[in-house]
Amino acid sequence: MKKYDYSDGVLIYYLPKELDHYAAEKIKSGSEKVLDENEVDYLIFDFRKTTFMDSSGIGLVTGRYRRVHDKGGKVFVVNVSESIDKILMMSGIYRIIEKKDTKEDIIKEMIAGGYYE
Amino acid sequence: MNNTNEMSVSFSSNAQNESFARMVIAAFITGTNPTLEEVSDVKTAVSEAVTNSIIHGYRNNTGQVIVNAKVTGRKIYIEIIDYGDGITDVKKAMEPMYTTRPDEERSGMGFSFMEAFMDRIEVESEVGKGTTVKMWKEIGTAGRQFE
């Protein structure tokens, strides 16, 4: 199962079913390289499979946010269920990261903004 | 009739056991007839406490984490115990966003989440001896007025 997808400045992380400390550590060590080697304008966290998350997930997202934001990139979360939304909301993360229904919504905006021209 | 039910598990401080602890507690509290949201709340709180024991309590070594739980009617009581390093300043540790390990991208929200998802929590800790987190929650009380 693919953990992330990168093309044309867009990096999508497919988050696991249970995003706890154990899973967050694995994601960090496994796919940090892609952030080192590529320019990321848009970072998207896809929660479609995620049914559980605790504060370790918040640490993972904010850590990646810092890296991408420092270089002028934008960060989004998509396919967020109600229970995950509750955690994200409580953490205050929506002050810095935007939620969209699907990645297609983000791509539409990118096209409208002339990103692929 | 005495309708109290108790359980206790002990496991080593490996990160894989975080999901084990959540599964055990979710199964144990089924009898209180919780909503999915209430189960999720309790699982999150337990996950936070167990993660703390593993990454902070046993940061320098491995040891056992103990989860004790008791259900009386719809009242849940949970203890998470470790015999690790302990916490120097509990009050400070419980402040939102406080973390001793920012380098590891810890959000510092563990205790805030425990407090938000349970009715009440208490933390007892002694440096060099370990930490006990006690949590209480009554099922069926939150959000009832909206039904």
Kindly state the average pLDDT of the residues A19-31: 89
Run of H or E residues at A109:
helix A103-112
Helices (H) and strands (E) counted in chain B, each on its own, are 4, 5
pLDDT for the residue A18? 97
Whether residue A51 is contained in a domain is answered as: yes
Tokens of B71: 């259900």
pLDDT for the residue B7? 98
Minimum Cα–Cα distance from B113: chain A residue: A55
> What is the Cα–Cα distance from B107 to B96, expressed in whole angstroms?
9
Kindly state the average pLDDT of the residues B54-63: 94
pLDDT digits (tens, 9 = 90+) for B82-122: 999 999 999 999 988 888 877 777 788 999 999 999 999 99
Residue B71 confidence (pLDDT) above 90: yes
Kindly state the average pLDDT of the residues A37-59: 95
Q: Which residues contact A35 (CB under 8 A, 6 or more apart)?
A: A11, A64, A67, A68
Kindly state the average pLDDT of the residues B8-15: 98
| Average confidence score pLDDT of chain B | 92
**pLDDT band with cut points at 50, 70 and 90 for residue A47:** very high
Residue B143 confidence (pLDDT) above 60: no
> What is the Cα–Cα distance from A53 to B22, expressed in whole angstroms?
11
Whether residue A47 is contained in a domain is answered as: yes
Residue B144 confidence (pLDDT) above 60: no
pLDDT for the residue B106? 79
Its domain, for residue A58, covers: 4-112
Asked if B105 and A22 come within 8 Å (Cβ–Cβ), the reply is no
Query: Is the CB of B15 inside 8 Å of chain A's CB atoms?
Result: yes
Tally the domains of chain A.
1
B37 closest CB neighbour out of A53, A83, A91 = A83
Pick the CATH number of B4-138 from 3.40.50.880, 3.40.309.10, 3.30.565.10, 3.30.460.40: 3.30.565.10
B 38-97 → A contacts, CB under 8 A: 40, 43-44, 47-48, 51, 54-55
Whether residue A117 is contained in a domain is answered as: no
pTM, 2 dp: 0.92
Residue B33 confidence (pLDDT) above 60: yes
Q: What are residue A7's phi and psi, to 5 degrees?
A: -160, 140
For B47, B79, B128, the CA distances from B91, given in Å and listed in that order, are 20, 19, 17
pLDDT for the residue B66? 98
Q: What percent of chain B has pLDDT over 70?
A: 94
Kindly state the average pLDDT of the residues A49-60: 96
Domain with residue A29: its CATH number is: 3.30.750.24
pLDDT for the residue B76? 98
**pLDDT band with cut points at 50, 70 and 90 for residue A32:** confident
pLDDT for the residue A1? 65
Residue A48 confidence (pLDDT) above 70: yes
> DSSP letters along B29-97, please?
GGGG---HHHHHHHHHHHHHHHHHIIIIITSSS--EEEEEEEEETTEEEEEEEE-SS--S-HHHHTSTT
For A113, B54, B128, the CA distances from A116, given in Å and listed in that order, are 9, 46, 57
Residue A31 confidence (pLDDT) above 70: no
Whether residue A86 is contained in a domain is answered as: yes
Residue A35 confidence (pLDDT) above 90: no
Query: Is the CB of A71 inside 8 Å of chain B's CB atoms?
Result: no
Whether residue A81 is contained in a domain is answered as: yes
Residue B47 confidence (pLDDT) above 50: yes
| Average confidence score pLDDT of chain A | 92
In chain B, residues with a C-beta closer than 8 Å to the C-beta of A22 are 15-16, 18-19
Whether residue A40 is contained in a domain is answered as: yes
